[in-house]
Amino acid sequence: MKNFPRVKVTHAAQQVIAELRAIHGALMFHQSGGCCDGSSPMCYADGDFIVGSSDVWLGEIDGCDFYMAKDQFEFWKHTELTIDVTPGRGASFSLEIPLGVRFVTKSRVFSVEETENLIETRLGDMV
- Separation of alpha carbons 118 and 127, rounded Å: 18
Q: 108 versus 123: which is more confidently predicted? A: 108
Domain ranges of the chain: 7-121
- Separation of alpha carbons 98 and 94, rounded Å: 9
Q: Would you say the pTM of this structure is higher than 0.95?
A: no
Sheet containing strand 7-9, edge to edge, reads 7-9, 79-87, 101-109
pLDDT digits (tens, 9 = 90+) for 38-55: 578 999 999 999 998 889
Contact 46, 30 (CB under 8 A): no
- Separation of alpha carbons 23 and 28, rounded Å: 14
pLDDT digits (tens, 9 = 90+) for 80-104: 999 999 998 876 789 999 999 999 9
Sheet containing strand 55-61, edge to edge, reads 41-45, 27-31, 64-69, 55-61, 122-123
Query: For the purposes of burial, counting CB atoms within 10 Å of the CB of 50, is it exposed (0-12), middle (13-18) or buried (19 or more)?
Result: exposed
Q: Please report the pLDDT score of residue 2 as a whole number.
A: 64
Domain 7-121 has CATH 2.60.300: yes
pLDDT digits (tens, 9 = 90+) for 2-30: 688 999 999 999 999 999 999 999 999 99
